[in-house]
Amino acid sequence: MNPDSEPGGPIGVFDSGVGGLTVLRALERHLPRDAFLYVGDTARVPWGTKGPDTVQRYSVRVARHLVDSGCRAIVIACNTASAFALEAVRAAVSVPVIDVITPVAVEVARALAAPPASARHVAVLGTRGTVASHAYPRALAAIDNTLITHQRPCPLFVPLVEEGWVDGAVPEAIARTYLDPLLRENSPDALILGCTHYPMMSAVIARVARAILGRDVPLFESGDATANALAELLGAPSPDTRPVAPSARLQVTDSPELFLDIASRFLGRPVDTVEHIDLAG
């Protein structure tokens, strides 16, 4: 273990870009006394369209940087990396590593655990890579093999979110195109937002789902579920409700200037400083 990776060090969080900031936002809320180091591998974004070997290589490189920076635990704040690289990262570093898929699967299974009158269906929205990995169906089946999972890739959601188009006629029309056949055919009892960008569109997704089904469908996303799982893993105390200024360093592998404005929107607070790092080689 890196000698700096001791209790009291920051918690490392990484993603290919900005989506993982929705997870960081939840971590800051649930663990306000902790410090965080976030790395967005923006020079190689997106990871959702890349193959498993490439995602594993990128993920291990970032994870080793986080451990070398003194992090005492790592959160893989990317569904694609969680699907393809979790075991590779755990094998490469000697600090606890948590993904964003398992905690959501646990929460969904728990929410649908009451004896059903009929089959219980779960719909998953994700990137092409996450959907192709079948990580959510496997994670859910490992907890409750009676759950029936249906998936739909939604590749246009990520650019919409990054452009700030999270509500209005255009995102609503695109959401309806993705959701209509998935929901009408399967009438799910739960809907998983299986990409860390998608919570930024939760209002329009919920509204479109309600219009299609004629009822509300519970949405599940990575942020709060992962924060709860990390707190349990680390034995963290209950959140202290006294106000604390967020303590997170942000690092990217491409232009910090391009990251600043988007980061502020994702975190819901001003971001003044983003550091550039070089992870090439």
- Which residues carry out catalysis? 78, 195
Amino acid at 94: S
DSSP-derived secondary structure for the chain = --TT-STTSPEEEEESSSTTHHHHHHHHHH-TT--EEEEE-GGG---TTS-HHHHHHHHHHHHHHHHHTT-SEEEE--HHHHHHHHHHHHHH-SS-EE-SSHHHHHHHHHHT-SPPSS--EEEEEE-HHHHHHTHHHHHHHHH-TT-EEEEEE-TTHHHHHHTT--SSHHHHHHHHHHHHHHHHHH--SEEEEESTTGGGGHHHHHHHHHHHHSS---EE-HHHHHHHHHHHHHTPPPPP-S-----EEEEESS-HHHHHHHHHHHHTS-----EE-----
- Paired with 37 in beta bridges are 12, 249
Q: Are 79 and 222 in contact (CB under 8 A)?
A: yes
Amino acid at 203: A
Cα(75)–Cα(72) distance, integer angstroms: 10
